[in-house]
Structure 1
Amino acid sequence: MARRPVLEFWFDFASTYAYLSAMRIEPLAEAAEVEVRYRPFLLGPIFQAMGWTSSPFNLYPVKGRYMWRDVEREAGRLGLPFQRPSPFPQNTLSAARVALSGADQPWCGAFVRAVFSAEYGEGRSIEEPSAVAAIATSIGLDGDAALKAASAEGVKTRLRAVNEEARTRGVFGAPTFFTEDGEMFWGNDRLETALAWATGR
């Protein structure tokens, strides 16, 4: 069987638009015969480098009001539940570490969707390590073991390296997609374009 082209999916669990992409990327990629590579990272350091102390949707209330309505509309169009979580953005460190530790494992996609579903589908907090462990358990993992593995120094070091890679590659928001030729696409509304580019269509 021919090797499938790879599309990198860079996301932070704090991103509302990444929720929309995470919930639909796998069937779209399968239909396009593209392999998804999950790249969890943290937007906080990226925003700090830009001089922002919070999400731009908090810093610019007019933009924030539009975003919440837009995501609600898009979720409805896609048949996805949507509830605004509080606080926003949430601290996604524990969830990001678990996702990173399992990025090459078959369960990663299910975990990513479960976290986003809890956060934006049900409006639940994902900040607490116990909440992340419960989500991991809900997809059939040993939640405590997953959390322990994600707390290893090696995973912490990898996450710092991934954040630096995001910065050096010009990532400024989420979701961001990279095709194998280095082309970058930003935003949920560019997912289909990124998949088409990945296949040369």
Structure 2
Amino acid sequence: MPNRPVLDFWYEFASPYSFLSALRIEPLAEAAGVTLRWRPFLLGPIFAAQGWSTSPFALYPSKGRYMWRDVERRAGRNGLALVKPETFPQNSLIAARLALAGREAGWMPAFSKALFQAGFGEGRNIAEEAVLNAALKQAGADPGVAFPASRSEEVKGRLRAEIEYAKSIGIFGAPTFVTEDGEVFWGDDRLEEALDWSKHGR
């Protein structure tokens, strides 16, 4: 039996469009026969390299208004509630480190989905320890193990390396999907196309 194709799913916990993809990607990938590789990273350093101090959706009010309405429409179509967080973009550093700490243990996807639901489904602050704790427990992870692991130099270095690798392959936003042959698809609305390319190629 041939190996299943692998699709890299690059996502940022502060990204509303990543929220949309994270909560729908698994059944679509399974139906397509594609294996997912969840890759949390931070957009802040990537935006900074482009001369932006924050998200372009925060820098340009008209773009931000459109984005929130667009996400609301897409969420509604997918049966998801959307609650805009009080602060945008949120600080997602600890969230990304925690997710990477759970890669080998296998709870990264479940934690990611739980935290996205808290952040954009309920408007919670994803930098708060109580919110992170709840997402870890929902994913079956032990916060007493996960938090110390997330503060290790190994995990901090892993996140830095992921950001640098994302830069090197031209990622500039989230979510981004990258196929095994290096094809890059940006945005929740490109998910199905990315899965199709991953399976069938050009």
TM-score, with structure 1 as normaliser: 0.97
1:104 to partner: Cα distance: 4.0
CA separation in 1, counterparts of 2:181 and 2:140? 36
Q: Mean alpha-carbon deviation: is it higher for 136-145 or for 159-168?
A: 136-145
In 1: Cα distance, 2:200 partner to 2:63 partner: 34
Cα distance, 1:9 vs structure 2: 0.3
Structure 2 counterpart of 1:200: 200
Counterpart-to-counterpart distance in 2, 1:88 and 1:26 = 26
Whole-Å Cα distance in 2 between the matches of residues 183 and 105 of structure 1?
28
How far does the alpha carbon of each residue in 1:156-197 deviate from its partner, in whole angstroms, 9 at most, with x for none?
A: 011111110011110000000000000000000000000000
Asked whether the 8 Å contact 2:118–2:131 carries over to 1, the reply is no
**Residue in 1 that maps onto 2:96:** 96
- Residue 161 of structure 1 corresponds to which residue in structure 2? 161
CA contact (8 A) 2:124 2:131 kept: no
**Hey, what does 1:108 align to over in structure 2?**
108
1:64 is matched with: 64
- Match of residue 9 from structure 1: 9
CA–CA distance in structure 2, aligned partners of residues 102 and 139 of structure 1: 10
Contact 2:176 2:186 in 1 (8 A): yes
Residue 148 of structure 1: CA displacement? 1.1
Instruction: Give secondary structure in 2 for the equivalent of 1:74.
Output: helix
- The sequence identity of aligned pairs, in percent, is 59
The residue identity in structure 2 corresponding to 1:170 is G
- Secondary structure of residue in 2 paired with 1:191: helix
Q: For residue 144 of structure 1, give the secondary structure of its aligned residue in structure 2.
A: helix
Query: What one-letter code is carried by the residue in structure 2 that aligns with 1:36?
Result: L
> Any conservation in 2 of the 1:94–1:128 contact (CA below 8 Å)?
no
- Matches of 1:134 and 1:69 in 2, distance apart? 28
Distance 1:105 1:25, change over 3 A: farther
Residue-pair matches, total:
201
- Match of 2:7, SS state, is strand
Give secondary structure in 1 for the equivalent of 2:124.
coil
1:129 corresponding residue in structure 2: 129
CA–CA distance in structure 1, aligned partners of residues 31 and 104 of structure 2 = 21
CA distance in 2, matches of 1:155, 1:106: 15
Tell me the amino acid that sits aligned with residue 200 of structure 2: G
Query: Partner letter of residue 127 of structure 2?
Result: E
- Letter of the structure 1 residue corresponding to residue 141 of structure 2: L
When normalised by structure 2's length, the TM-score is 0.96
Which runs of 5 or more residues in structure 1 are unaligned? none
d(CA) in 1 for partners of 2:62, 2:104: 39
**Distance in structure 1 (CA, Å) of the matches to 2:17 and 2:156:** 25
- What RMSD, in angstroms, separates the aligned Cα atoms of the two structures? 1.1
Structural mapping, 1:28-67, within 5 Å: 28-67=28-67
After superposition, the C-alpha distances for 1:60-105 in whole angstroms (9 at most, x for unaligned) are 0000000001100100000011100111111001110111122344
Match of 2:85 in 1: 85
Instruction: Report the Cα distance in structure 2 between the residues aligned to 1:41 and 1:148, rounded to whole angstroms.
Output: 19
- SS across alignment from 2:8: strand
- 1:146 aligns with 146
Q: Which consecutive aligned stretches of 4+ in structure 1 deviate over 2 angstroms post-superposition?
A: 103-106, 128-131
Q: CA deviation at 1:140?
A: 1.9
Instruction: Report the residue type matching 1:181 in the other structure.
Output: D
DSSP-derived class of the 1:19 partner: helix
